[in-house]
Amino acid sequence: MSLLEDLSKDRRVVLYAVVLALAIILIGTLGLKFGLDLQGGSYLQLQLEGAVAQVDVTPEKILEVQFNASSVQKLGNAYVVMVPGKVKATLPDDLGYSGSKMVEQNNITKITITAIDTDIITNYLKKSMDADVKIVGVAPVQYEIRTNVTRESLNAILAPVGGKVSTGENAFVEGLTVETVDETKKVLDSKLNRLGMQDIRVRVVDNKYILIDLAGMDVATAQDVVGKPGKFEIRIQADNNQTIHVLYGDAVASVDIPQGDRSGGWGVPFTLSEEGAAVFQKASIDAGAVKNPDAHPISMYLDKDEVFSAPLAAELAGSLSKVPVRTLEARVGSGDAGSTKAKELYIHLREGALPVNVAIVGSGQVSAALGKQFKIQMVIAGLIALLAVAAMVFYRYRERRIVLPMVATSFSEVVMMLGIWSLGGIWFGWQLDLASLAGIIMVIGTGVDQLVIITDELIRGGEAVPAASDRSIKERAAEAAEKSGVGKAVAASSKVYLGRLSRAFTIIIGAAATTAVAMLPLLYMGFGALTGFALIIIVGVILGTAIARPAYGRIIGHILAGN
């Protein structure tokens, strides 16, 4: 029976051939995505500005200062604020207390505000710093302030209302929560995808920094793309089955962070400017949405992509038929799905702006010509590595029938890794860069070490093989067989062969596991390009140990047996 016929019946060799063929098909159809250093472009390093703080302040004192009140009294979940004289009718709305009730009597204005303590503190911080503030912890209550703030500046803001930052090191921590950082990354991903740049890599480092590689884009354009908001628009369904323009994003005066209600529903409150509210009322009446809301839903678009569509609520439709309404709420659903949609719509209403302030702390550019040069140099380095491997193996064994399978196995492992990488580029955005190519070269080196272990084990039963010898590999194999008492070259199906191969794989699996475990810290520490370096080494170790090296062991066994 010929060598090819014999190998075609070995399931390890068949699996190896199938995986190799699939890898070639994947590379040919999906292609490879190259990173910044191989394609050229720019990179940005963004620092997220913000802090998580605990504060000591009373809501009564805040309301007293804000309204210039003579007294503030808490009654259940409401606060009664007494203000001397007559006040502007829109004062509560202007201060962020929508839905408040005002009654004027005996030259005193009584304002009833329905709110809990944390709502008032959050509203004060938000108005004072013109930034989003979110409650992220309880017992003690922690406030996430999404702007550049220090302990000293926060104390200065709280001083007029008799407050201060709580004592203790953990009372003020620079940085943001994991959820906020992830939200910022999603916004960047969404924005770049809308602009047709799906291959852009956005990475988070230490929950304080975001690294963005923008292949094929100069630094100035990259900064503009990341920092520029999208185009937000509100439209309404007309009678002719078409939507008509109502407002742009500049008519949205403010957007509140979404919160769920007691029934589990989620909505995003936002406030229109006075002019915007008037335009929205007129458009709703003219389109017929006030009389027949279901037939004339309100739609919101960001960069021409629909992000929300729903009819006017019956209560809102009734109010719009009489007066303009500035404070609105977009209801998006309930449960976890509603929470996710609310967070997304919150960003869209802010015209796609990032949820936190960011500062560009680093930037750079790699020219396309330099990236092309790097790519060529890495290909040359890989070929040199394979040639060096071939020379070393030939020097050690002086047998072409050993050199060719070993070099071919090393090359095929590279092809299989690239096949997996091309698939990962579609699913997970994996890109080939200098670090990942360096990882491929490292896999070649460690893989050859293990192929040598297999070959030596089969030739000499684990004894060292002289590097220089005038005898052929078959003569040395025959000598080893005689010493072992077999009397001829060990057959690839014999117990002696399987025992030797098992010893070799005991060493190989231990080395492979050690390499993979050593790469895990680099994989999860988030140091940018090192992630790709670690990941491709782990992929290569798995492919080599599970597919390529078992097949090589069967092939070399047949060769040594004289087939």
Return the pLDDT at 562. 62
Q: Between the CA of residue 209 and those of 330, 404, 450, 528, what are the distances in Å?
A: 32, 48, 40, 11
Per this entry, what is the length of the chain? Answer: 563
* Euclidean distance between CA atoms 203 and 211, whole angstroms: 5
Q: How many CA atoms lie within 13 A of 462 on its CB side?
A: 13
Could you please state the CATH topology (level 3) that the domain comprising 3-40+367-560 is classified under: Multidrug efflux transporter AcrB transmembrane fold (1.20.1640)
Shared fold status for 3-40+367-560 and 232-350: no
Return the pLDDT at 142. 93
Q: Between the CA of residue 323 and those of 121, 250, 277, 529, what are the distances in Å?
A: 31, 21, 9, 57
Whether residue 416 contacts residue 547, with contact meaning beta carbons closer than 8 Å, is answered with: yes
3-state secondary structure of 84: strand
Question: CATH for 232-350, among 3.40.190.10, 3.40.50.300, 3.30.1360.200, 2.40.70.10?
Answer: 3.30.1360.200
Scored b (16 or more CB within 10 A) or e, 547-562 reads bbbbbbbbbbbbbbbe
* Euclidean distance between CA atoms 398 and 378, whole angstroms: 29
Whether residue 184 contacts residue 48, with contact meaning beta carbons closer than 8 Å, is answered with: yes
* Euclidean distance between CA atoms 410 and 544, whole angstroms: 9
Return the pLDDT at 471. 52
Q: Report the number of secondary-structure helices (H) and strands (E) in the chain.
A: 19, 22
* Euclidean distance between CA atoms 350 and 189, whole angstroms: 16
User: What burial class does residue 163 get, using C-beta atoms within 10 Å of its C-beta: 0-12 exposed, 13-18 middle, 19+ buried?
Assistant: buried
Amino acid residing at 52: V
Instruction: Kindly report whether the global pTM for this prediction surpasses the value 0.85.
Output: no
Scored b (16 or more CB within 10 A) or e, 201-231 reads bbebeebebbbbbbbbbebeebbebbeeebe
Residue with structure tokens 């089969």?
458
* Euclidean distance between CA atoms 436 and 40, whole angstroms: 16
What residues in the chain have per-residue pLDDT under 70? 1-6, 36-37, 40, 193-201, 215-216, 227-230, 351-353, 367-371, 460-498, 524-529, 561-563
Whether residue 431 contacts residue 425, with contact meaning beta carbons closer than 8 Å, is answered with: yes
Return the pLDDT at 20. 92
Question: Where along the chain do its domains lie?
Answer: 3-40+367-560, 51-174, 232-350
CB atoms within 10 A of CB 22: 14
Residues 6+ apart with CB under 8 A from 562: 474, 489
* Euclidean distance between CA atoms 481 and 489, whole angstroms: 6
Nearest to 61 by CA among 76, 73, 75: 73
| Radius of gyration, alpha carbons of the chain | 34
* Euclidean distance between CA atoms 153 and 131, whole angstroms: 14
Amino acid residing at 114: T
